[in-house]
Amino acid sequence: MKRLILTLFAISGFYLSTSAQEIDTVPIPLKDMEIKLKRNPLPSRLGTITFQPVELKPALVQAKINYWKTKATVGINANQASFSDNWKGGGTNSIAIGALLNHKAEYSKESYSYTSEVILQYGKVKNKDQLQKKTNDRIYWDNKAAVQLSKNWYFFASLSFESQFDKGFSYSRDANGNEVAKILSRFMSPGYLTQSLGFEYKPSKVFSTRIGTGTARQTFVLDTTIYKTNPKNFGVEVGKKLRNDLAFQVVSNLEKEIIKNTILKAKYNMFIPYEDVKETDHRLDVVVTSKLNRFLNVSLTGVILYDKDMDLKVQSSQALALGVSFTFPR
């Protein structure tokens, strides 16, 4: 029975394929059929079409690669307070103003790089019946050229300069209660010029450490009378204007956005003289800046300094400021 059914299926399939083939190949005679094609209503032209060659001038794109990256920040902050003569809460009329300029330029091409950074800071406060006093005063210019040796290591050469704009004083009272100012420092008294050669470790964009195996620093005290009020004379021998030191130097930099719109910037500098390791200098600068909106920001700055040529104790300063800042390019 199964064989009969399979045989019938085979016969029916063969018949269908044969009939389909016959239908597809049936010839249709067209000779005796009257087929008229409709005339095209559109006019027609017979002839040759000629093409004229057109000269195309190549378009030159004046594109240049810019290997420089620059950033500048200008900031101004001010504070003012006044009280009436009968103000029972107590207080002193005062006005304070400060200015800041940071400029950084970076050049990078293949394995070569160059960085120049300028930091200028100055501020003053005036209280009623008191002398004007500085709240900030710094000139700092750092230049560094580097060649990449491997993924994270560079060979660098750097040159930096540091001093201040204005005179610096310490304040006391005389026998009559009047405020007396005693000069401690001024422009280029002291002034520092530092040259360094060594290796830099830079594992990421936010952190780097320079190891200056060959570092020379010149300390300037151009005002030879400073020693009368500042006996240490910043380590320069009394009567002279210059002191040379050879040292091992470590400079670490950190700049990172710790939370949204808040940047932490820290710089640590260690200077170890080869002549006397016990005279090692340390300086830590920390700045936390939080941007409130497009122009307003609040900043907290702090400096910790240990230098035996200035004082045997650790020095420190701190400032909190609210002001206006402009950054270029935006």
Q: What is the pLDDT of residues 14-70, one digit of tens each?
A: 554 555 444 455 666 666 666 666 666 666 666 677 778 888 888 777 778 889 999
* Domain-wise residue ranges, the chain: 68-328
Distance from C-alpha of 296 to C-alpha of 276, rounded to nearest angstrom: 47
Distance from C-alpha of 40 to C-alpha of 114, rounded to nearest angstrom: 77
**pLDDT in the model for residue 177:** 83
Residues 292-296: contacts with CB within 8 Å, 24+ apart?
292/261, 295/324, 295/325, 295/326, 296/322, 296/323, 296/324, 296/325
Query: What percent of the chain clears pLDDT 90, i.e. is strictly above it?
Result: 65
- Summarised one tens digit per residue, pLDDT across range 277-290 is 999 999 999 999 99
Measured from the Cβ of residue 89, the count of other Cβ atoms closer than 10 Å reads 5
Tell me which residue of 295, 299, 296 sits closest to 319, measured CA to CA: 299
For the segment(s) 68-328, the CATH number from 2.60.40, 2.40.160, 2.40.230, 3.40.1350 is: 2.40.230
**pLDDT in the model for residue 330:** 64
- Summarised one tens digit per residue, pLDDT across range 241-279 is 999 999 999 999 999 999 999 999 999 999 999 999 999
111 contacts: CB under 8 Å, gap ≥ 6:
147, 148
Q: Hunting for tokens 């990449």 — which residue is that?
A: 148
Residue 202 pLDDT class (50, 70, 90 cuts): very high
> What mean pLDDT is predicted for residues 207-224?
96
- pTM, whole model, 2 decimals? 0.79
Whether 13 has a pLDDT exceeding 70, the answer reads no
Measured from the Cβ of residue 299, the count of other Cβ atoms closer than 10 Å reads 20
Whether 172 has a pLDDT exceeding 80, the answer reads yes
